[in-house]
Amino acid sequence: MCGVASGLEVFLRQPPAWVAGARLGLLSHPASVDRRYRHARELIAAHFPGQLVRLFSPQHGLGGEKQDNMVASPDGVDPCLGIPVVSLYGPRLAPSPETLADLDAVLVDLQDVGTRVYTYQATLAALMAAAGEAGVKVVVLDRPNPLGGVQVEGNLLKPAFASFVGPYPLPMRHGLTLGELARFYQGEYGLSCELEVIPAHGWRRGMYFDATGLPWVLPSPNLPTLEGALVYPGQVLLEGTNLSEGRGTTRPFEFFGAPFLEPRRLLAELDPPPAGVVFREVLFEPTFHKWQGQPCRGFQLHVTDRAAFRPYAATLALLRAVLRLYPDSFAWRQPPYEYDTQRLPFDLLTGDAAIRKGLEQGVTAAELEAAWQGELAHYLARRRPYLLYPE
């Protein structure tokens, strides 16, 4: 195992000179821990007595207690430190000027999962924009991308489909850490706050999370395992359909299904089957969310070759097969979704309505992939100046 140190650990071990006497805010969640599972807010409060004056929470709440999308977190007071907690998911999606007015810097310690639609990066972008207007420094305590930083996949989001599940053009699997994303946002999209990134020490782009030696703490309620994170860049698309993505089970995003699916017939339709993954037939009853209490037939995805597996393409292939076999039972989810009341959730997730229209017309996943290779190559060239870690 490699001894990777998170940005949090580096920051506490070697605090920058500017921290002395600075009034600090902290944006964090349950996975904001060191290798001994101690939370960032308690560590920072202990290292810099009296300087941590406000906490900010992203989607799912400071404690990760809110299960689903569009379940707002209230403001509150942290029971351990007795300082205010400002929610950035609900009626307020960005810090208000008054919540930044008495701060010199906001520390950001969030475990991201390398997928464009994961909302923590949208919260970071909103914080950067607000901090720039308020003259407040943003400091990202960086963490490894659990999916590594080499492989990228998917079409780039079209600006017309910008939303809270994708504020800027990125591929679905972007291959950046949160700190690199902050640098990319600033350099490419003009978020002009004073930005500092504290890199994770010892991480290399080829590392998946289980090679880092860092503890896995679920970054959100429905990603309890690294295995779920591996399939998430594709299976998250099921949020835009009436298929269960496994919420309400012990394996969200790894499980998928619906009462009308016929697993063996569906598997036969996948010709050829996606590479690097085994579809194991399962029967499950969600305890909440879609198809609650109803038997759902489907599969669990078991990734057998991470280098060969393309999660986004795999789920697009699944959806094309479902559309062909069950045109009268399958449905696209209708708005609202992530505070957008007009556009189809699936289009927000893919970032381009052409993906949905292509599936409806029977276009294969391979044909869709071929169409986005040019823009993906352009993205790889654009992101190069913002990379912090070697391969």
Residue by residue, pLDDT tens for the chain (391 residues) are: 458 999 999 999 999 999 999 999 999 999 999 999 999 999 999 999 999 999 999 999 999 998 888 789 999 999 999 999 999 999 999 999 999 999 999 999 999 999 999 999 999 999 999 999 999 999 999 999 999 999 999 999 999 999 999 999 999 999 999 999 999 999 999 998 999 999 999 999 999 999 999 999 999 999 999 999 999 999 999 999 999 999 999 999 999 999 999 999 999 999 899 999 999 999 999 999 999 999 999 999 999 999 999 999 999 999 999 999 999 999 999 999 999 999 999 999 999 999 999 999 999 999 999 999 999 999 999 999 999 999 9
| CA distance to 13, 23, 220, 314, 372, per residue, from 107 (Å) | 15, 11, 19, 36, 36
Multiple choice CATH, 226-360, 3.90.1150.140, 3.30.450.40, 3.30.420.40, 3.10.20.30: 3.90.1150.140
DSSP 215: P
Q: In 10 A of CB 354, how many CB atoms?
A: 16
Upper half-sphere CA count for residue 40 (Cβ side, 13 Å): 32
Question: Top-level CATH class of 7-222+382-386?
Answer: alpha beta
Note whether 7-222+382-386 and 226-360 share their fold: no
Residue 2's pLDDT is 54
pTM of the model: 0.96
Q: Are 355 and 296 in contact (CB under 8 A)?
A: no
**DSSP tag of 200:** P
The total of other beta-carbon atoms located within 10 Å of residue 96's CB is 12
Q: Is the dihedral of CA 385, 191, 77, 59 positive or negative?
A: negative
Tell me how many degrees the CA angle 244-249-253 measures, rounded to the nearest 5: 55
Q: Do 143 and 178 touch, CB atoms closer than 8 A?
A: yes
Helix 311-325, helix 353-360: angle, nearest 10: 40
Order of strands across the sheet that contains 137-141: 76-77, 84-87, 52-57, 24-28, 105-109, 137-141, 195-198
> Angle at Cα 108 formed by Cα 387 and Cα 306, nearest 5°?
50
Domain locations in the chain?
7-222+382-386, 226-360
